[in-house]
Amino acid sequence: MNAQTMTDIAAPLAALRLLAADFPALPAAHVEVSTIFPERLSLSFHDDFAAFEAWRSALGILPDTVTYDEQSGGRTRVLTTSADYAGAHLRLIGYTTHPDHIGGAP
């Protein structure tokens, strides 16, 4: 088995650096870079579809590429989209609680 090095995840790390430099005023995200998917940079936003939308818009990702799903028995709404950015595969993921389930409602 070959041990992976930082070089193997250089593309998403470089993309993250560019995003931080080019969009410093956009909302901070949960950032994920993994050796399992070494070309992927994931930015996720929890309880904040507005942050997801701000990033989608700033990156010029078309609205019709966004998919909607629900998980946890409909309690959580999920938006996802992806695009290539600066040599990395960028994924944006937004999560929020479904309004019908806020405050413990069934």
What confidence tier does 106 reach under pLDDT thresholds 50, 70, 90?
very low
Neighbours of 29 (CB within 10 A): 21
Please answer whether residues 100 and 49 qualify as being in contact, where contact means their C-beta atoms are separated by less than 8 angstroms. no
52, containing H or E segment = helix 49-58
Q: Is this model's pTM higher than 0.75 or not? A: yes
Tens digits of residue pLDDT in 15-71: 999 999 999 999 999 999 999 999 999 999 998 899 999 999 999 999 999 999 988
